[in-house]
Amino acid sequence: MFTADALVAHVVGDYLLQSHWVAQQKTSRLVVAVAHALLYALPFLLLTRSPVALLVIVATHAVIDRYRLVRYVIWLKNQWLAPPSARSHGAPTATGFPDETPPWLSVWLLIICDNLAHVAVNALAIRYL
């Protein structure tokens, strides 16, 4: 299901084809998130010609990035897998991790989880669509 090519396409699209400005703006402006997702999908043209797979890659990338959806996944995971005394009782933080998590750690863990979400969706889209 997963190929090294899909990982390379993700890295090229998400890091080499994304400016710092886009990285800062895509979570607050839908048009920036969509433009980023369209550029992000360019390397995937080498891996699939399926319009449905490309649409899934673009749409999910834009939505995941714009709304920082992975932070909700992280928050839910921590709610479900933590003992009741360790669960958060408020809304998710900016990273989904509890406030007592060191900022540098919560940001890096969010980035890792976000990358894993994109790579998993892309691999499924390429494989099955």
Amino acid at 65: D
pLDDT at residue 2, rounded to an integer: 64
72, 77, 83, 84: CA torsion to nearest 10: 30
Euclidean distance between CA atoms 129 and 114, whole angstroms: 22
Q: Which of 61, 91, 60 shows the shortest CA–CA distance to 76? A: 91
Q: Which residues of the chain have pLDDT under 50?
A: none
Q: Supply the pTM of this predicted model.
A: 0.90
Contact of 57 with 49, CB cutoff 8 Å: no
pLDDT for 3 equals 80
Angle between helices 103-128 and 70-81 (to 10 degrees): 110
